[in-house]
Every structure is written in C-alpha cells, then in structure tokens.
Amino acid sequence: MTNMNAPEEKSAGILTGKYIGQRVHRKEDPRLLTGHGQFVDDVSVPGQLHVAFTRSPVARASIVSISSDYAREVPGVHAIYTQQDLADFNVDMISFFLASPDVKTTPLADGRVAYVGEPVVMVIADSRAIAEDAASLVEVEYAEETPLITIDDARHGAPVHPGREDNIAAQMGEEEIDEDLEALLQAAPHLVTHKVVHQRISQSPMETRGVLADPEGPKELTLYITCQSPHMVERWTSLALGKPDMAIRVIAKDVGGGFGLKNHPWKEEVAVILAALKFRRPLKWIEDRYENLIGANQAREQEMTLQVALDNDGKLLASHGDYSCNNGAFPQLSECNIAVHMFVWGAYKMPAYGFLTRGWYTNTVGYAAYRGPWAMESLVRETALDVAARRLGIDPIEIRRKNLVTLSEQPTESCMQIPLEDVTPAECLEKLLGYFDVDAFRREQAEAREQGRYLGLGIAAYIEPTGSAGAIATMTGELAQVRIEPTGKVTATMSTHSQGHGTQTTMAQIFADRLGVSYEDVSVFEGDSSRGGFSPGAAGSRQGVIAGGAAILAADKLAEKVRTLAAHLLQVEAAAIAIDAGQISVAGNPDKSISLGELANIAYGEPDRLPPGMESGLEAQHRYQPPPMTFASAANACVVEVDRDTGFVKIQRWISSEDCGTPLNPAVVEGQVSGGLAQAIGMVLLEEVGFDERGNPTAATYKDYMMPAISDIPTFEFVHANTPSQSVGGMRGVGEGGAIIGAPTLVNAIADALAPFGEVEVNLPLTPAKLLSVMEGRDLTPPKVVAPVAVEPVAPAPVAEPVPAADATPAGPVVIDGDWKMILSTPMGPQEMQGHFETSGDNLSGYLSSPEGQMEFTGSVVNGNNLVFDLKVTKPMKITLKYNLLIDGDKISGKCKMGIFGSAKLTGERL
C-alpha cells in the first residue's frame, strides 16, 4: 500500500517545540466551560418552526392507513407530512462511502415499518410541544408481522425487506473453510475455538442529533447540524438530494460528541431538510434522549468465533474467523466489517488465516459506526490469546512476545498482505512491562487468593490504521489555510472538526511554532463548510496525523514567504532571518529587525516594496496527502478485583502504553485515550441496548441504558511509547485506540481473576450476575428472552429467482458480446459498473468501467456461458480481482475474488 501515493515529505522524528508537545491550555475551554459553546439547539433563526415525529410502535408491519385529521386541528400546527409528501425529492440515502443503499431507504416509512421507533409521520408546528401534541394524535393502523430481532432470527426468518432472497446485508470471505487451512487447524497440537458476543451499543453522544434547516430561497440552504464534518454533510446532502445547483452551507461550531453516529445525516435529519425545502420555512428538530436511545442508529451487536491453532510452545500456526453483525433494518452502510479480518492478526506472525464475515438485516434500528468500528478484531484476538495461554500453561505476556512482529523484523507483511513498516505493539508492551511490575503483582495475586480475594491482570496489544487517505472517495487529505493578518495576528481555517478533539488547540500549537508567533496570537476556525475545504472530519483517527501535516506544510510555506520578504526589506540573506515571538531578527545583526505586524502591513498595504513578482498579502494553504495509512500501536494493562460475594468488578489500576508518534499536546492525547477507555469500560461492564421478543427497546432512558459515570472510571496512568510515523510531523492517530484496546484489556483482567473457577464466556456486558455465576458454578443470570411468538402469520417470503448453478447450460446460444450493467457487493457498499465483453472464438477481452475509471483485460477464456477473467488493480491496494461469471440470457451473476477481501457477489443485466 505504501507505494500507492508517495508522501510529500518524510517525518523528521518526534517533533517538539515551544508549543508542540506541550500541555498548553485548550483554546476551546474558556467558551465551553463558561457555557458559551454553540450547539445546534443554541441556534435560532427568525421564523423557525419545530418538528416532532410520530414513530412506529411495532417492529414489523405494513401500514394500513394514516389519519392526521385530529392532529391537523391542533392550534399551532402548520403541516403534517408522510413519506408521500417527501417522495418527489427522490432522495438517495447514500453511505459514508457515497454508495446507494442496498435496500430502499426513505426518510419516513414508505408503506412498511421495519423497527420500533421508525419515523412515520412528521408534524411541523409553532413549538416542539405543540408538534408533539399533534404527533400523538396521528392515527396509524398497522398490520403487524412477526419481527426478526437477533442475528439468529435473521439467519432463519423471512426476509426483512420484501423482494430480497435472504437477510444477508453484506458478505465477504469464503463460506467453506479452505481445505489447506482446515488441514492446518486440525493438525495443530492445540486448537482454541473462542467465541465473543458483543452487545448492541448506543453511541449516546451528550448532544443528541439535531438539525436546524434554513432554506434561503430556492437555491440556498443553511444547515445547523451536529455532525463530525460540516464538509461531509454538505457533500452528502448535495449528492443525496441530487441538487448540485443549490448552495449548501453547513455549520456546526461545537459538537457534543459524535462517536460515529454523526458522520452524515440519516432518516430524521433528512426528513427535516426536505420538509424545510418543501414548506419553505426554517425547521428545527432536536432529538430527545428517548428518541436517541430508540431511533438513532446504533452500533456493535456482533458475534465472532475465532479458531486459533498453536504449537506446544504457543506459536501461532493458523486461524479462521467467522463474524456476524446485526445491521438492523436500514443500516448507514451494509456492514460486514472487512476491517475485522484485515487487522485481526495484523501485528502477529500468523502463517495462515481465512474468514467469513456477514452483516444481517433485522427489524431493529440500523447500524452506524462507533468509535473503533472494527474493534472486534482486537477483542476476539486478545481474549483468545489469553484463553490459549491458560490452556497451554503459558504466560499471557510470553504468548504475545512469541508472536508479535517486532520493529526489528520490519518491513514485512501481515498474513493479509498488509505491509508493516513501523508498527510497535511489541515495543509498547516492553515499555509497559518496564513500568508495571508483573512479578510483584503475581505475588500479590497469589496472596490475595489465599484470603479468598480474586485479583486479575489483563494485558492486551493492538495496532490500528489511522489517518487513512487516498483509497476511498471520502477519505481525503486535509486542508490548512493560514494567513498572517495585517495586525500580525495569525488566522487559520481548517478542514478539521472537533467533537471535543481540541483541534483548535493542537493546530494553533503547530502554527505558533512554525510561524514563530505566540500561541495566544493564533486563532483557528473550523466547523463551517464555508471555511477550509473538504475532509470527513472526525473520522478514522485522522485529524492529528493529516491536518497536523497540512498545518505544518502550510505554515512552512508562509514562513518561507515571510523570510523572503524580510530578507528583501532588510537586505540580508533569507537564511539569516529568524522569526520568534512575532519578531523578525537577523543573525549577527541585532540592529536589523522588524515585527511581524510591521512586515504584514507592508505585505498588504505597500505592494511597491515587495520583491518583483511576489504576491501581496501573507497567506498560504496546503492540502496534505499523507501515506495511505499510518499505524498506531498500544499495549495496555489493567488490574481488577472481582468481589467473590457479589461478582462486582473494581478496577484498581489501568496503564496505557501507546505509540501516537509526535504528541502534539500530551493532555489532548491522554484525553482521547481516556475517553476511549471509558467507553470500553462501559461496553464491558454496563451498557446494553436490548430488545424484547417483539423488538421493543428495553433501555429507552438513561435509567436503563447505563453509561459509565466518572465514578466508574479509574485514574489512567500513561506510558508514552512514541516513535515517529512516516507522515509529516510524525503523528499517529489516537482517536479510537482507547475504545479498541480497552475492552480486551478489561475482559482479560476479569478472566485472569476468575481463572481459578473456569473460563468466563465473553458475552458482554460482563454483569455481576454473569461473573458471580462463574464463581458459584450455577446460573445466577436472569432468564433469557424467550423465542418470539407469532401473533400473525409471517408474510410469505417472496420467491427468489433461481441462481444459475455453475454447470447450468443455457438452452439457446449464449450471447456474451456487448455491454452489461453490473453491481458488485463490496465492503464499501454496492459498486455499480459497466462491463464490456468481446469474444473471438474462445478468447475473451473487454473492460469494466466505473466512475473511478476503466480497466481492460485481454487473453481470457470463455467456456460456454462461463466467463473467467482477472483484473489487476492498485486501489485501495494492489490486488488481483478474479471474476467468475455466468450468463443466463440477459442476466449475469457470479463472484469476484478480491484477494484479502474474500469473495463478493456480482449481479447484473444486459444493457
């Protein structure tokens, strides 16, 4: 992957400076801590009206009738819309990767409902209270059907979406384990089969979703919306609405947390935007917590079974993973999480690995990302390694030392052909072990056990791709625009966006250092799509890495201009110019000096004094295109005590040893890691979105959805194990690491504590009842939800079109030549392309074309109706795509083997 896009400059090592690397106070804090943050609900515009939704009380039904007669009579109600009223917009609910959804997705329910909480009707009224009054008077009659709630329901139940063959939303990998791999697994001295069940999680941002859509005439639209990138929302809205001629401005000054939920608008936000355009008034909708917990998309709810083969010394031999995810009814992307497999053994010496990964449609609210979306890979691997270590009688640290790829063994490639050049989990682990005395802990643990107290130590290591750019349309570089104002102050606008990330602070630190001004003199602006340029913002742990590089390069360009101008004015060599604290001086010539403000005044106001050809003003910008991926690594340790009498877990210590490359601001880094670890603690011990057998959410308020509170979080200890990355500035992403490595660290600590009693099933959350059950050897957990009882017959599954068998011979002559419209189900969503085939005897040639370009192939062979050909691609990485297609009349179908991504289905028809 590294040869795809050569980085513009190489990192020079860990950066430090007067500000970079220092714990400077955050620029955001004075306004946030004095209550002057600006969140969506803080914004009001003249003439705004309010929206409330009537939501489905049932998980699966067809809508028989909707009556708004009573609702319309409520004084203060302006309009009541159903999907019919919004249908003219024909909105395309695209994914984060800009792909159209696999299943028809509409802002309001279109004839059917598929989850409890689905918005069916929207009311526009003078106030939110009036809108809610009226929404409760809307009468909707439903013909209820038996819903599918769990992954297991989805495997066997009638398709959630009529017209589909089954409930598989997405699938990658091979359904059968490869024979060679199977042989390796079976022949191994030890085969550990380890299953992890991860509960469903609500992203639960402190600021719920919300939007104020302000149409300014037919051609302009301003959106105040809580989001992870105003630029992404602008791009998404423009494409989804199909309105390229509309000027859309998106503003989100402050955001109370996104965590993946706010990458782009979804049903409710889109309904509000469309309704505002239709009704031509500004409309505001602020999600309440009940709506957020039942109606906002959710995350996780995954199961994974990992088989790990080892030799007697604990050396890894082979592995297979089988993963399923509950996508709900209308996921923000049809998720089957290929990243789970790409990185499951990413940093380990694993000779052979195979996988199957599937996402399932169910009658629950849809899937959206959550900080560390592929976190399952680390959870299942790191907990499986501990199970293996216990079974083999090896120390869990030793099993990692034996198998982790060390820095001295790089460059190399992971078993998924991912190039590893500078990952450091092994080095992070050693640094952690240098800080934490494991032997002393083991002695304390042994003594405690004699007293009937159960202490446990959990260790986990991981790597994570951060700052990804260049391979996927929306994962771009980042833009920094900086200017020295005529006053000498520095103003920058960035493509970044903060949800509490402190980017205004870290970017200002960079500008101050690189331009030689004081931190106080730098102002950074973001959070408005009319400033800066496109980036997906807070997505994929990227901003420090990429925007940091952009800020360095933009500032360096500007500093160079300052030096050139100063040298010209002072009549010295540019190399002799130094800028510090806003003052320009000349080495060895203390008489010659000029302030940055004086220089700026000349640059803007006295163009005659500039060198010939120099652009007036002091402005520069840079869009930084980093290496395609920058890996972050970490090792964590956690000590717990599990109360023998109650099953309660007390976290005694937690140490993070992470490699974030250059820490722009260690306090911001630690804040990011701490927040992620807090989320992990919530996932392991407390949080759970549940449903009853009818699909009703069982945690609809914060009384039942238990977020970790400050009292549940220990004081984290930090051992920074930083090595510079290859990106400019040497940063590595830290946005998601804590949320990823936290869960296996804590699970391993609990399992270690309870090892004398047996293995702990990793079925999250690990409640006191589950843990006490392990220690007592009897079931103290509440009864499981019983199987759903059919109230009415299930709608008969639509008859699927027969899939042509591989050896099927069509009756008539096969016509191959010509153009075909084909859809490939890729991990990024369905990809539409046009195929052109030409035959000459048995020889086949042609091309596939898509918006990304055209790829030709020649020298392939036709066998009857069977087309087999290979295409070599370089994006998102170098792989060979092996197509195996069958033509049946005017239909085409088959598979494409995509190297490490496994196989994807292809369907299509003649054009």
Partner 1 sequence: MKPAPFDYYAPATISEACQLLSEASGGATVIAGGQTLMPLLNLRMSQPFILVDINNTAEMKGISAVDGGIRIGPATRQYEVLESELLVERLPLLVEAVRHVGHHQTRNRGTVGGSIALGEPAAELPACAVALGATIDIASVRGTRQVPASEFYLGPFMTVLEPDELVTGITFPAWPAGHLPLFSELAQRPGDFALVGVVGALALEAGKISRAGIAWMAMGPTPLKATAAEQLLLGKSLAEIDPQAVAEAAVAETAPFDDKRTSAEYRRTVGARLLARALRELTAQGEAA
Binding stretches for partner 1 (CB under 8 A): 127-129, 132-133, 136, 288-290, 645-648, 686, 690, 698-699, 701, 703-704, 706, 708-709, 711-712, 767-769, 772, 776, 779-783
Task: Using the minimum distance from each CB to partner 1, give the nearer residue, 640 or 719.
Answer: 640
Please report how close the Cβ of residue 763 comes to partner 1 at its closest, in angstroms.
15
- Complex with partner 1: residue 290 or 718, whichever CB lies closer: 290
CA neighbor of 429 nearest in space, from 632, 656, 674:
656
**Residue 114 CB, nearest distance to partner 1 (Å)?**
24
d(CA 332, CA 743): 24
Q: Exposed (0-12), middle (13-18) or buried (19+): which is 121, by Cβ within 10 Å?
A: buried
The verdict on whether omega for the bond into residue 265 sits within 30 degrees of 0, i.e. cis, is no
CB of 694 to partner 1, least distance (A): 15
Residue 186 buriedness (CB in 10 A; 0-12 / 13-18 / 19+): exposed
Task: Decide whether 511 or 705 has the Cβ nearer to partner 1.
Answer: 705
Q: Please say whether the dihedral angle defined by the alpha carbons of residues 640, 643, 649 and 652, taken in this order, is positive or negative.
A: negative
Instruction: Return the exposure string of 33-59: e unless at least 16 CB atoms fall within 10 Å of the residue's CB, then b.
Output: eeeeebbbbebeeeebbbbbbbbbbbb
d(CA 253, CA 861) in angstroms, rounded, equals 58
Q: What's phi and psi for 771, nearest 5 deg? A: -70, -35
Pairing, β 829-840 against β 818-826:
antiparallel
For the bound state, the minimum distance from the C-beta of residue 769 to partner 1, rounded and expressed in Å, comes to: 4
Task: Say how many C-beta atoms besides its own lie within 10 A of residue 71's C-beta.
Answer: 21
Nearer to partner 1, 645 or 807 (CB): 645
| Cis peptide leading into residue 666 (ω within 30°) | no
Pick between residue 701 and residue 874 the one whose CB is nearest to partner 1. Answer: 701
Alpha-carbon gap, residue 524 to 537, rounded angstroms: 15
Pick between residue 288 and residue 801 the one whose CB is nearest to partner 1. Answer: 288
Rank residues 44 and 698 by Cβ distance to partner 1 and give the closer one. Answer: 698
CB of 156 or CB of 703, closer to partner 1:
703
CA distances from 196 to 343, 381, 762, 771 (A): 17, 10, 5, 15
Rg of the chain (C-alpha set): 29
- What is the distance between the alpha carbons of residues 159 and 166, in angstroms, rounded to a whole number? 5
Residue closer to partner 1 (CB basis): 99 or 681: 681
Least distance from C-beta 778 to partner 1, angstroms? 8
- Which lies closer to partner 1 via its Cβ, residue 91 or residue 116? 116
Min dist CB 192 to partner 1, Å, is 30
Using the minimum distance from each CB to partner 1, give the nearer residue, 706 or 871: 706
User: Which residues lie across from 212 on neighbouring strands?
Assistant: 224, 284
Q: How far is the CB of 49 from partner 1 (least distance, A)?
A: 15
User: CB-wise, 124 or 492, nearer to partner 1?
Assistant: 124
Tell me if 60 sits within 8 A of 790, measured CB to CB. no
Pick between residue 175 and residue 776 the one whose CB is nearest to partner 1: 776
C-beta of 660 vs 772, nearer to partner 1? 772
CA distances from 795 to 109, 142, 145, 157, 169 (A): 18, 14, 7, 10, 20
Q: Which is nearer to partner 1, 3 or 698 (CB)?
A: 698
Please give the DSSP secondary-structure letter assigned to residue 407: G
Least spacing, CB of residue 53 vs partner 1, in Å: 13
Tell me which residue has tokens 């349309």. Answer: 473
Report helix, strand or coil for 205: coil
Min separation Cβ 442 and partner 1, Å: 28
Closest separation in Å from C-beta 368 to partner 1: 23
Q: Which residues have CB under 8 Å from 894's CB, separation 6+? A: 867, 883, 884, 885, 886, 905, 906
Q: Residues 6 or more apart from 532 whose CB is under 8 A from it?
A: 231, 479, 480, 481, 493, 494, 495, 496, 525, 526
Least distance (Å) from partner 1 to the CB of residue 71? 14
Q: How far is the CB of 709 from partner 1 (least distance, A)?
A: 5
Tokens of 229: 């990138």
- Coil, strand or helix at 248: strand
Q: What distance in Å separates the CA atoms of residue 800 and residue 823, rounded to the nearest whole number? A: 18
Shortest spacing between CB 41 and partner 1, in angstroms? 11
Q: What DSSP string describes 873-904?
A: E-SSSSEEEEEEEEEETTEEEEEEEEGGG-EE
Is the CB of 71 or the CB of 772 nearer to partner 1?
A: 772
Q: Which of 346, 347, 317 is nearest to 416 (CA)?
A: 346
Distances in Å between the Cα of 390 and the Cα atoms of 99, 320, 748 are 45, 20, 11
Nearest distance, CB of residue 154 and partner 1, angstroms: 22
With beta carbons less than 8 A apart as the criterion, state whether 298 and 689 touch: yes
Looking at beta carbons only, is 487 or 646 nearer to partner 1? 646
Report the nearest approach of partner 1 to the CB of residue 740 (Å).
Answer: 23
Can you read off the two tokens belonging to residue 11? 């990192």
At 411, the amino acid letter reads P
* Parallel/antiparallel/unpaired status of strands 299-310 and 316-328: antiparallel
Q: Quick one: which H or E segment has residue 856? A: strand 853-863
Outline where DSSP puts E strands in 82-137. 112-113, 119-125
CB of 854: closest distance to partner 1 in angstroms?
A: 55
Smallest distance from partner 1 to CB 136, Å: 7
Minimum distance between the CB of residue 521 and partner 1, rounded to whole angstroms?
38
Give the CA angle between residues 110, 266, 36 to the nearest 5°: 140
Q: Toward partner 1, which CB reaches closer, 128 or 897?
A: 128
